[in-house]
Amino acid sequence: MLCIICKQNQAKVHLTQIVGEKMQKVDLCEECAKSKGVNDPAGFSLADLLLGLGASQELAGSSGGQEVKCPNCGFTQADFKKAGRLGCSECYITFAEGLEGLLKTMHKGVRHVGKVPHALKQGRDLTDQLRKLQKSLDKAITEEDFEQAANLRDEIKATRDKLNHIETT
């Protein structure tokens, strides 16, 4: 198996990265591994390992060749590459341009949404449904469609019962 960087020498260093259900393999020869700092734990770019080879170049490339430094904590891009994390919350603003591309490769998006407990999600959905039903009921009453209004009233009662059941459990 050949090195993926120089494509000439036999690969002797094999790295495997698993993100979610995707697995990426990187095969390097000893020279390319050494030049990337893989053999030297102190010089190894954790950002490259986590984000794929070339990630640190993408971060550095976004600054236009200058070393960007966080005005709050003094963290540099080199510090990020070594540590694999940022120094403070201001770093996210300082390094925003390069980080956006890196975050997109790591996650589904650049905004953390989080998860909602199932019962809470059900409660929110039922509350939204109640609002819509109430608007429809008001409209039906205004238009004097009393048959539709009676159906909506029954549906609202059933939805409220479901919501009360969820809130009590």
Q: pLDDT of 72-116, one tens digit each?
A: 898 887 787 777 778 888 888 887 877 777 777 666 666 777 788
Question: What is d(CA 56, CA 45) in angstroms, rounded to the nearest whole number?
Answer: 8
Instruction: Answer for the pair 54, 81: CB distance below 8 angstroms, yes or no.
Output: no
- The 10 Å Cβ neighbour count of residue 41 is 8
The reported pLDDT for the residue numbered 58 is 46
Torsion (CA) 119, 120, 126, 129 in degrees, nearest 10: -140
Q: What is the mean pLDDT of residues 157-163?
A: 94
- The 10 Å Cβ neighbour count of residue 3 is 20
Q: Taking 70 as the threshold, does the pLDDT of residue 45 lie above it? A: no
- DSSP H or E run through 16: strand 13-19
Q: pLDDT of 125-159, one tens digit each?
A: 999 999 999 999 999 999 999 999 999 999 999 99
Q: What is the mean pLDDT of residues 118-128?
A: 89
Reported confidence tier of residue 63, pLDDT bands at 50, 70, 90 = very low
What integer best gives the mean pLDDT of the chain? 77
Residue 127 DSSP symbol: H
Q: Tell me if the pTM is above 0.85.
A: no
